[in-house]
Structure 1
Amino acid sequence: MLGDVETRSVSPVFVGRADELAVLTDALVRAAGQEPQALLVGGEAGVGKTRLTEEFVHEAARRGAVVAVGGCVEIGAEGLPFAPFSTALRTLHRLLPGELAAAAAGQEDELARILPELGDTPRGPHDEESTARLFELTARMLERLAADRTVVLVLEDLHWADTSTRHLLSYLFRTLASGRLVVVATYRADDVHRRHPLRPLLAELDRLRTVQRIELPRFNRAEVRRQLAGILASQPDEDFVDSVFERSDGNAFFVEELAACQRSGCRAGLTESLRDLLLVRVEVLPEAAQRVVRIVAEGGSTVEYPLLRAVAGLSEDELIEALRAAVGANILLATPDGDGYRFRHSLVREAVSDDLLPGERARVNRRYAEAMEADDWLIRAEERVIRLASYWYCANDAAKALPAVLAASVAARRRHAYSEQLNLLERALDLWESAPQEVREALRPVDYTEVYPPCGCDPATTPLKRLDLLAEATVAARFGGERERALKLTKTALRLLEEDQDPLRAAWFWTERSRLVSSLARGDGWEELAKAQELVKGLPPSQVHAEVLVRAAGWGMLHNPGPGNLEAAERAAAYARMLGAEEIELNARITVGSLLTDAGDAERGLTEMLVVRERAAELGLVMLAGRAHINLTSQLESMGRSREAVELAEQGVELVKKSRLLDTEAWLSGNMAESLYSLGRWDEAAEAARRGLSVGQSAAPRGSASARLSYLALARGELTEAGARLTAAHAHFGTHDSQPQHRIPLYRLAVGIAAGEGRIADVRAEITDAIAYGFPLGHHRYAWPLLLAAASAEADARGLPVADAGRAAALEVLRGAARALATPVPVWAAHAEFFRAELLRAEDRDTVADWAGVERAVRPLERPYLLARARHRLAEALLASGGDRAGAASLLGEAYATAERLGSRRLREDLALLAQRARLPLTGADAPAAPPAPAPDPVEALGLTSRERDVLSLVAAGRSNRQIAEELFISPKTASVHVSNILAKLGVAGRGEAAALAHRLRLFGPLTPAGTAPPGV
């Protein structure tokens, strides 16, 4: 409408910024090679960010790129969820309708949460991973859209961004992997103070090598001179350049304002007040234009023309004349689509808004709200409820603001913008007491909440209560990842419930608090669950009661396994079935199935979980189906059915990937890694574990993945890596929430690492702690490998003086622990047999028959690493007895081939040394019938000199450098040099590992220590 109005204060010449523009245009080149680009452009207000991006947009369009621009909207503290993305995607929808439809195919309902043009936003489902699913779908849609063309997204004014926009931008910057896509985001650096919500995001993105950050400096004097020349269309007077440069300090926008003041002859350019400088050209406008400018300042970043006309109260001719004056003075600009108006610079809008009187501001906001209520078509539907809430709130009308804010919270929830929903609900809580009672009594929970802590009331007819808002806010905070705020909300609610007795609501809040306390590492959540159980005791059956029972049974299954948990889970399922709460019932039945399997009724337990999985998938309950997959794969592995577990885990991963259930995917990947390890598919196991570590959002699945990687490193002989992964697993699991399924495997790893480093005292300390911790029902799958590792460590440490001293007592402790363990399936019976043979080896009482029995037990299990270890011991026993050399050679060859394929350096070295000593081939061929000639010295085979041999023998006996120096009549420094050389030649990380290797390879006979050897070599 006013596009032909001339503006004169903006320079037609693009001044400076050549380097910055070059960085942006280079991003176009890189993106053309299928390498997505991410750039942040920052600078103080008025420094020229918008002008730079405009030049870049023109250049991108000239090169054939499809460009979409979206700006963050400032409409109050709650923000407009996904505003810049919605605007930019709307442009792409208009420019590339067919291509965008194809890129969004199959996910239109979900993506409509960001781009409503794609369809109706569905109701639910809502969970803690809903937002992550939406983000992943958005990223994949953009990658598909940019597969064959360069697409540029420019997101402006990030300092005003809502929380959901910031999180989505961070997700895109971290995960975009393909496509010809360039994302540029701008922000006002001087607004990002210490507590600004954008600050953590900027710090996070600074650590990403894929994100380029451009900071715009102010102009120097020469650039100011060029800018003035462009504005004035002539060379400026040098005194005037000096004055403007000094007054503006090189800020491009202030240069424009000062130049405009000089051209119009106003005197405000001489004032010291920045605010006066920004307001001076507003104050010289006609009265009607000033009025319109003040109205636009309160409307938000952009005000639609129909809305402005309804609020201004002017005739159309009067409004157009007022707008013409404001646009002509370069204060307002028409939006690119011509449907509305905005300030040319936000600094002027802020100055005008700040200049309004409080009553004037409230009146303008009221008029906006009344106009929108009178006509639903003045603005886009998806913005209406949020902006209406903001206008009524700023109008200081609690009666109108409360229902409007609640309606806005529902809109935010439907877009999975849980942080914005939380902000709005907290605003509603602030308004609650101010709103008239009749307004509050007219509100209904069914209209504004999806969380109904049941109180025996109909949510469609019962008035909404403050507790309902606190419940909804608690869940919004949890879904939005703000667990601290959620915990505070539960505390507030429970304090209110001390006065307003409502046991069901109180039980619901205690159950939520249990979940939050556990996830925040404040405890294991049992104290809170116990209070919830006490509250529902004796009450009629209810959904809350069923939920409490399900969580209590699940907690017991993980923390304190026993028969009482099965009864609780079955009772919970019965409660839920009676109430028709099928989702709760299915969740309870998964727990029932797992507990049945742990109790020995495996087939019934597996059948129950399979039935639940199918029903959950049929109902679209993907998270529940994912949990069934997790428990099924775990139980199958426990039964030795690793191949089935892998297949089911792969199916589960494909299922949950589509819904972006990241933690569920991480758990399934960890379970898959465990079963792949058992099957000897170690490279695949490492890949699965790393995938679990990368996608997991919560600590526990990441801890499980770290433990799996530690197992692999330990089995391969990479002790330093195994120790680092074990440390990471401990950090993820923490100490607040001890679960046997996590704790016992960590003991197993600690024992293995200590044994590998020759620290037999630490092995015994770890196993003592583990036995004291206990091996609950169903956890034999973790206990048998632990006991086997400890027994093997004792056997390997024969001849080590420190180990020999306490071996008898240590072995008796291990035997006692094993007596209480079940062997319900062949895999654990084989472990028990292996364990018994290792105890005999530790006492030098093992025989060929013992190891032959172990080999027979392991052979059918499809456990190649375990079988290779058993064959190593059987071959060793055969050779020690002077028995079947050909058989020993065959066993060694088969075991060595397995160790080679798995990449187990330690097992490979043990097998090679045994074959070398016996002068047997490692190919499985028949061994010589005659006794072999003496084998070469194994110490020399390791490349050690005679002096290094002497030093290593003393290291193996636990001597310090000073003790070695005294015995060999050398200096401590020389001893230290020898030790360093030995570590390098052996390829080990420390003295303990060198000692362990020497004892394991039987390089020296038993040594008697001189004096007292230090505990734990």
Structure 2
Amino acid sequence: MTADTARPGGRAILDGVESRSPSPVFVGRAAELAELSAGLGRARAGVPQAFVIGGEAGIGKTRLVEEFLTRARAEGAVTATGACVELSAGALPFAPVSAVLRALHRRLGRAVARAAAGHEAELAGLLPELGTAGRTAGEPQDRARWHELITRLLERLAAARPLVVTIEDLHWSDGSTRDLLGYLFRSVHHGTRLLVLATYRTDDLHSRHPLRPYLAGLDRLRTVRRTELRPFTSAEVAAQLTGLTGAAPAPELLSGIHARSEGNPFFVEELTAAGQGTGLSRTLRDLLLVRVEAQPDAVQDVLRAVAAGGHRVEHRVLAAAVPRPESELLTALRTAVGAHLLAPTGEGDGYRFRHPLLREAVLDDLLPGERARLNRRFAEALERHGDLVPEDERAARLAGHWYHAGDRAKALPAVLAAADRARHRHAYAEQLRLLERALGLWDGVPPAVLAGLRPGGRTGGHPGAGPGPRPASLVDLLAEATGAAALAGRPDRALTLSGRALRLIDERHEPLRAAWFWAQRARVREGFGRSEGHAELDRARDLVRGLPPSLVHAQVMALAAARLLAERPGPELFETAERAAALARLVGGESVELDARITLARLRADAGETAEGLAELSAVRDRILARGEVGLLGRCLVGQVSTLGLAGQFSHVAELSAEALGLADRYGLADTRGRLAAAHANALVQLGRWQEADAALAAAGERAHAVHPRVAALLVAGHLAVLRGDLAAARAASADIRGEIRTPDPRPAFVIELARLDVATAAAEGRTEAAREAFARAASGTFPPFSSPQVWGLLLAAADAEAAARGRPAAAPGRAAALARIRQTMKVRPRKPPTWSAHALFVEALLLRAEGRDAPAQWAGAVTAFERLGLPHQLAAARLSWAEALLGGPAGRTAARAEDRDQAAELLRSARATAAALGAEPLGARARKAAARACIDLAGPGVLMPAAARDPFGLTRREREVLALVAAGRSNRQIGEELSISQKTASVHVSNILAKLAVPGRVEAAALARRLKLVPAG
């Protein structure tokens, strides 16, 4: 969707602007276009239609109309358009009607002449092509007669074909045109295939505009549908930018353009043309200023003051800052509001520009001296009257006004006070912006002012220059800015700022200060995925070694423990974390102690004490929130989610990660959002909620600014692609991951997960040798502690590859060695959590299959294990493998025993149903192949039920029997005894019934069965 385009004849705000190529893609307005298309359908059926569409300049009215008219013509309709024209001496009477009639004459020729037969002289004033005018358009003797003639002319033209008449720019219409349209809306006969469409600009309708009462009258007509186009959403702006530039916009660019344009499509185009949305093009600035410059001088002066006052200005503030009598000020404001340049604020206590770009244009037009003078007036007014604005806004507004006034001595203290208040609100991006502004002011501030400043905020252990109060230094300011950049998700800025500080510090005389900055660099560099910050952390440890206990020393030790936990867990990890906690307690640094407690809690959970570790992490989180230690909150949230994932509690992961994402959004933790979004997506994949996972992965991609969150999301996306059978996407994800991880020794979890993705992809493509090589590379060393979840996934992928290759002679030579390697890796893997033990059973069954020793009992055990976990794809895969084993293996004979065959059929149906629900095409294809080989009908047994007894859920005869027993309160064991089937087969039937009925449990299934009479009453 693009803005209304310029036309000759006067388009006011859009007149004379240079023409730009509109977006080649029609964006948004689907509902409006559908409503117009439906109206055309009704008109084609002989029910006349009328639509009136409003919206601000540039909102896309013309593009919507053009798109609709193009489709209408493609469907056989005749279209004609006329536009109202603004002239300095007044509007031209009937100008759009005359344009419509001329367009119809060009398209239909003789048909128009026949429709006007007998009234040519009367109509020639509007359509000279009919002959000599007997009456002119400007001097009709009987206006009502003219209305009747034009209406009947259009009715005759619309009798044989749909006719669409469009009148644009009603805000410039003359009274005659409005009267004619009103008559037309009320008087067109039923059976006429006519659709009338009119547009107008809402921002041109001042309080006394004649179109206002006219529109109110139209609202009372049932035959007229009126709508107002809304601004574009962020997603629609993204689509428009993609169409304009040929590439999806970066999140920062999209956010900036959407905010500045407020979703106005024309402004989006102009901002993009101005250089990726970084400024105002000359065209756009001139366009916006046209209406400002048309106002009296007093109004322009007030508009400049409001622009300098901020995004909104309270009336009391404006009155205090603008030296004008109250009556003159009110008159100017009323004029500006009536001209749609200003609008009252939502609270009703002040004013704002109707569009932020209009304020930008006015500000850009100010001379430097004008802007400084206006800002000084506002700053002095705020200082004189402390109650003019809310207390929580006063610091920020004073900082902005003194800064733009050019008074450094006043601006620096005000900016620092505003930054400290932003930190208290957890607005770290705003805090960073203010602190960087303070850095720019620092050198020009008199020494006497600097001497009065004190260090503000907390910097997580940044040491002072000595005991007692002291003046703030440039290094203090850089420490504050470094911390804010890290919390705002700007590691690049944190590295730049800390590097500048280290150049100012003499490490021999201030080792603790230097160590603090090196530790911050180590922490933020982790997100780049390059050196991982090892050199920086080593430097910090060297600087504190041998010094007396200190808060910085404790912080460095806590950071070292956290790094070991993530990358190189070993015997020294617990000792390092304990030492960090002890040091923190000794020096009274609770925030550092909380950091160490997070590491210790995760160690405890990884050692098998999951509940205890989670309880400790929950307690730490509560304490972090109570203290406001937001810098630690992200690590604690990620630790909670990771610990639950380690234990395979994916339903809890989904719940907790959603809650944690809310906290991360609330406190502006940019890097944490990406990590949590990836964990949330993985949990949804495991739980079979794949469509939700797609949305979560898209969010993770938008939120992940650092390398590690991006890699985590790519891994989830790659695994999901394999499950869906989209191997091209899986290969692309693997390539992207390798492009992101450039270090020789990235995180072990990533290495293992990437190997699993490579093994699964190669196996799905039938490249058994490549799968073996990928597994051998990953298993060539020793897997680090705390990597069991990833290792079990890798083992499952490797064993599955071997089982799938059983029937391929080419894969036989290396099979024995590959199986031995898998078994050797399994030996030392812990199996305590239920998820790991279920995976172990699955792997063992796959290995037996790979050796040609398929064991139905082994598969039955795997199915039982997965039934407790709520992991639908794994359970369906286990059931499918069990069915194949009962039928003699994936490539074997069909089972001889009828009971085995019946049980296999139910297992195959259950697996197929799950695969269809998930969209797991490889699993579904395998189930269909096994069923075809065994001549099993996956739709159900061959005996058809009577039509009267069929249900809408597709239950088989056996399932209805089982459902009747479920409704009678029987257990699986009792159902098996009554129907002479095994308990496990009964369980499969019950699971299949719950899936088909889409209910969570047996109680709900029984209630639904009774209500719908799916089972006999009683």
Q: CA deviation at 1:467?
A: 0.8
Q: Are positions 1:547 and 2:561 aligned together?
A: no
Q: Are positions 1:353 and 2:367 aligned together?
A: yes
Residue-by-residue CA offset, 1:180-207 (whole Å, 9 max, x unaligned): x99659969989886686369x9xxxxx
User: Structure 1 residues 480 and 611, CA, compared in 2 at 3 Å: closer, same or farther?
Assistant: closer
What amino acid does structure 2 have at the position aligned with 1:859? T
Contact 1:891–1:924 (8 Å) recurs in 2: no
Q: Counterparts of 1:891 and 1:660 in 2: how far apart (Å)?
A: 54
Q: Counterparts of 1:290 and 1:913 in 2: how far apart (Å)?
A: 78
Q: CA deviation at 1:663?
A: 6.3
Alignment partner of 1:871 out of 882, 890, 895: 882
Q: CA deviation at 1:713?
A: 3.9
Contact 1:443–1:464 (8 Å) recurs in 2: yes
Q: Counterparts of 1:786 and 1:457 in 2: how far apart (Å)?
A: 52
Contact 2:604–2:610 (8 Å) recurs in 1: yes
Alignment partner of 1:533 out of 536, 541, 553: 541
Q: Counterparts of 2:724 and 2:31 in 1: how far apart (Å)?
A: 45
Q: Counterparts of 1:842 and 1:26 in 2: how far apart (Å)?
A: 57
| 1:198 partner SS | coil
Matches within 5 A, 1:837-856: 837-844=845-852, 846=853, 848=855, 852-856=857-861
Match of 2:922 in 1: 906
Q: Are positions 1:592 and 2:600 aligned together?
A: yes
Alignment partner of 1:483 out of 480, 484, 491: 491
Q: Counterparts of 1:654 and 1:592 in 2: how far apart (Å)?
A: 25
Q: CA deviation at 1:754?
A: 0.8
Match of 2:454 in 1: 444
Contact 1:475–1:486 (8 Å) recurs in 2: yes
Q: CA deviation at 1:739?
A: 1.8
Alignment partner of 1:897 out of 887, 904, 909: 909
Q: CA deviation at 1:861?
A: 3.8
| 1:498 partner SS | coil
User: Structure 1 residues 817 and 922, CA, compared in 2 at 3 Å: closer, same or farther?
Assistant: same
What amino acid does structure 1 have at the position aligned with 2:204? E
Match of 2:699 in 1: 694
What amino acid does structure 1 have at the position aligned with 2:556? V
Residue-by-residue CA offset, 1:164-222 (whole Å, 9 max, x unaligned): xx99996599799xxxx99659969989886686369x9xxxxxxxxxxx987999xxx
User: Structure 1 residues 391 and 60, CA, compared in 2 at 3 Å: closer, same or farther?
Assistant: farther
| 1:751 partner SS | helix
Residue-by-residue CA offset, 1:49-85 (whole Å, 9 max, x unaligned): x9977416768995999xxxxxxxxxxxxxxxxxxxx
Match of 2:831 in 1: 823
Alignment partner of 1:198 out of 269, 278, 285: 278
Match of 2:1015 in 1: none
Match of 2:746 in 1: 738
| 1:748 partner SS | helix
What amino acid does structure 1 have at the position aligned with 2:865? P
Alignment partner of 1:426 out of 426, 436, 443: 436
User: Structure 1 residues 638 and 440, CA, compared in 2 at 3 Å: closer, same or farther?
Assistant: closer
User: Structure 1 residues 582 and 57, CA, compared in 2 at 3 Å: closer, same or farther?
Assistant: farther
Q: CA deviation at 1:759?
A: 1.3
Q: CA deviation at 1:444?
A: 0.7
Number of residue pairs matched by the alignment? 723
RMSD, matched Cα? 6.1
Contact 1:890–1:925 (8 Å) recurs in 2: no
Q: Are positions 1:523 and 2:531 aligned together?
A: yes
Q: Are positions 1:885 and 2:893 aligned together?
A: no
Contact 1:150–1:182 (8 Å) recurs in 2: no
Q: Counterparts of 1:692 and 1:379 in 2: how far apart (Å)?
A: 42
Contact 2:887–2:894 (8 Å) recurs in 1: no
Contact 2:723–2:922 (8 Å) recurs in 1: yes
Match of 1:468 in 2: 476
Match of 1:782 in 2: 790
Q: Counterparts of 2:899 and 2:539 in 1: how far apart (Å)?
A: 65
User: Structure 1 residues 471 and 744, CA, compared in 2 at 3 Å: closer, same or farther?
Assistant: same
Alignment partner of 1:860 out of 865, 890, 897: 865
Alignment partner of 1:797 out of 790, 805, 814: 805
Q: CA deviation at 1:510?
A: 1.8
Matches within 5 A, 1:700-779: 700-727=708-735, 738-772=746-780, 774-779=782-787
What amino acid does structure 1 have at the position aligned with 2:905? G
Q: Counterparts of 1:839 and 1:408 in 2: how far apart (Å)?
A: 65
Q: CA deviation at 1:823?
A: 3.2
What amino acid does structure 1 have at the position aligned with 2:836? W
What amino acid does structure 1 have at the position aligned with 2:493? R
Q: Counterparts of 2:784 and 2:459 in 1: how far apart (Å)?
A: 36
Residue-by-residue CA offset, 1:530-564 (whole Å, 9 max, x unaligned): 22222233334444333333322222212112232
Contact 1:37–1:182 (8 Å) recurs in 2: no
Gaps of 5+ in 1: 1-12, 66-148, 159-165, 203-213, 220-249, 261-280, 283-288, 927-1017
Contact 1:474–1:490 (8 Å) recurs in 2: yes
Q: Counterparts of 2:398 and 2:423 in 1: how far apart (Å)?
A: 17
Residue-by-residue CA offset, 1:11-59 (whole Å, 9 max, x unaligned): xx98475999xx99999989999xx99989599xxxx9x9977416768
Normalising by structure 1, we get a TM-score of 0.57
What amino acid does structure 1 have at the position aligned with 2:922? R
Matches within 5 A, 1:332-343: none
What amino acid does structure 2 have at the position aligned with 1:860? A
Contact 2:399–2:418 (8 Å) recurs in 1: yes
Contact 2:895–2:901 (8 Å) recurs in 1: no
User: Structure 1 residues 880 and 528, CA, compared in 2 at 3 Å: closer, same or farther?
Assistant: same
User: Structure 1 residues 471 and 728, CA, compared in 2 at 3 Å: closer, same or farther?
Assistant: same
User: Structure 1 residues 185 and 925, CA, compared in 2 at 3 Å: closer, same or farther?
Assistant: closer
Contact 1:559–1:739 (8 Å) recurs in 2: yes
| 1:510 partner SS | helix
Q: CA deviation at 1:755?
A: 0.8
Contact 1:890–1:923 (8 Å) recurs in 2: no
User: Structure 1 residues 31 and 505, CA, compared in 2 at 3 Å: closer, same or farther?
Assistant: farther
Residue-by-residue CA offset, 1:369-405 (whole Å, 9 max, x unaligned): 6666455467776776456546655666544443233
Matches within 5 A, 1:10-159: 15=12, 41=58, 54-55=203-204
User: Structure 1 residues 887 and 539, CA, compared in 2 at 3 Å: closer, same or farther?
Assistant: farther
Q: Counterparts of 1:613 and 1:361 in 2: how far apart (Å)?
A: 47
User: Structure 1 residues 251 and 380, CA, compared in 2 at 3 Å: closer, same or farther?
Assistant: closer
What amino acid does structure 1 have at the position aligned with 2:911? A
Contact 1:686–1:712 (8 Å) recurs in 2: no
Contact 2:56–2:202 (8 Å) recurs in 1: no
User: Structure 1 residues 339 and 813, CA, compared in 2 at 3 Å: closer, same or farther?
Assistant: closer
User: Structure 1 residues 61 and 338, CA, compared in 2 at 3 Å: closer, same or farther?
Assistant: farther
Q: Counterparts of 2:577 and 2:470 in 1: how far apart (Å)?
A: 32
Q: CA deviation at 1:715?
A: 3.3
Residue-by-residue CA offset, 1:681-710 (whole Å, 9 max, x unaligned): 42x254245325425612544543443344
Q: Counterparts of 1:764 and 1:293 in 2: how far apart (Å)?
A: 73
What amino acid does structure 1 have at the position aligned with 2:555? E
Residue-by-residue CA offset, 1:622-655 (whole Å, 9 max, x unaligned): 8867755654454344345555555655665677
Q: Counterparts of 2:251 and 2:301 in 1: how far apart (Å)?
A: 38
User: Structure 1 residues 869 and 406, CA, compared in 2 at 3 Å: closer, same or farther?
Assistant: same
User: Structure 1 residues 393 and 800, CA, compared in 2 at 3 Å: closer, same or farther?
Assistant: same
Contact 2:512–2:552 (8 Å) recurs in 1: yes
The percent identity for this pair of structures is 35
Q: CA deviation at 1:719?
A: 3.3
User: Structure 1 residues 842 and 588, CA, compared in 2 at 3 Å: closer, same or farther?
Assistant: same
| 1:471 partner SS | helix
Q: CA deviation at 1:896?
A: 1.0
What amino acid does structure 2 have at the position aligned with 1:559? E
Alignment partner of 1:404 out of 407, 410, 414: 414
What amino acid does structure 1 have at the position aligned with 2:449? V
| 1:443 partner SS | coil
Q: Counterparts of 1:875 and 1:711 in 2: how far apart (Å)?
A: 29
Q: CA deviation at 1:455?
A: 1.7
Contact 1:662–1:695 (8 Å) recurs in 2: no
Alignment partner of 1:556 out of 555, 564, 570: 564
Q: CA deviation at 1:528?
A: 1.8
User: Structure 1 residues 14 and 772, CA, compared in 2 at 3 Å: closer, same or farther?
Assistant: same
